[in-house]
Amino acid sequence: MHTSQAAVDEPAHENPALLHHFATEEQQKNAASLGMWVFLAQEVMFFGGMFCAYLVYRYKYFADFGSASQQLDIKLGATNTVVLICSSLTVVLGVRAAQLGKRMALVFWLVATIFLGLVFLGIKADEYAEKFEKHHVPGASFSYHELLPSQEKLPEAERQYADPHHAEMYFSLYFAMTGMHALHMVIGVGLFGFLAYKAWRGKYTPEYYTPIENAGLYWHFVDIVWIYLFPLLYLIDRHR
Amino acid sequence: MSDHKSASGHTSEHASTQTPEHISEHISSVGSSVAIWLALLAGTGITVAAAFIDLGPFNTIVALTIATIKATLVILFFMHVKYTHEKLTGLVVVSAIFWLFILLALSMADYTTRLWR
Cα angle B59-B61-B67, degrees, rounded to a multiple of 5: 100
pLDDT of amino acid B115: 77
In sequence order, the 6+-apart residues with CB closer than 8 A to the CB of A153 are: none
Residue A28's nearest CA partner among A5, A11, A43 is A11
CA distances from A66 to A57, A161, B2 (A): 11, 12, 49
What is the arithmetic mean of pLDDT over B41-50?
97
A23-58 residue pLDDT tens: 988 889 999 999 999 999 999 999 999 999 999 999
**What residues make up the domain containing A203?**
22-137+151-235
Judge whether B7 lies within some domain: no
For residues A204 and B18, give the distance between their C-alpha atoms in angstroms, rounded to a whole number: 14
pLDDT of amino acid A152: 86
Q: Domain count of chain B? A: 2
| A71-81 as b/e: b if 16+ CB within 10 A | bbebeebbebb
Q: What share of residues in chain B are helix, strand, coil (percent, to 5)? A: 60, 0, 40
CATH code of the domain covering residue A40: 1.20.120.80
Same domain flag for B76 and B90: no
Residue A178's nearest CA partner among A54, A70, A86, A93 is A54
Q: Which residue of A has its CA nearest to B114?
A: A60
pLDDT of amino acid A13: 55
Q: Domain count of chain A? A: 1
Report which DSSP code applies to A147. Answer: B
pLDDT of amino acid A206: 92
What is the arithmetic mean of pLDDT over B89-115?
94
Query: How many residues does this entry show for chain B?
Result: 117
Residue A113 has pLDDT above 60, yes or no: yes
Q: How far is B98 from chain A (nearest CA, A)?
A: 10
Judge whether B22 lies within some domain: no
The answer to whether the beta carbons of residues A206 and B13 sit under 8 Å apart is no
Q: Which residue of B has its CA nearest to A92?
A: B78
**What residues make up the domain containing B42?**
27-83
- Name every chain B residue with its beta carbon within 8 A of the beta carbon of A12: none
For residues A212 and A107, give the distance between their C-alpha atoms in angstroms, rounded to a whole number: 11
Helix (H, G, I), strand (E, B) or coil at B1: coil
CA distances from A136 to A129, A159, B7 (A): 10, 21, 44
Minimal Cβ distance to A227: which of B24, B36, B67: B67
- Name every chain A residue with its beta carbon within 8 A of the beta carbon of B86: 30, 33-34
Interface test with B, best of A10, A233, A238, A240 (most B CBs within 10 A): A238
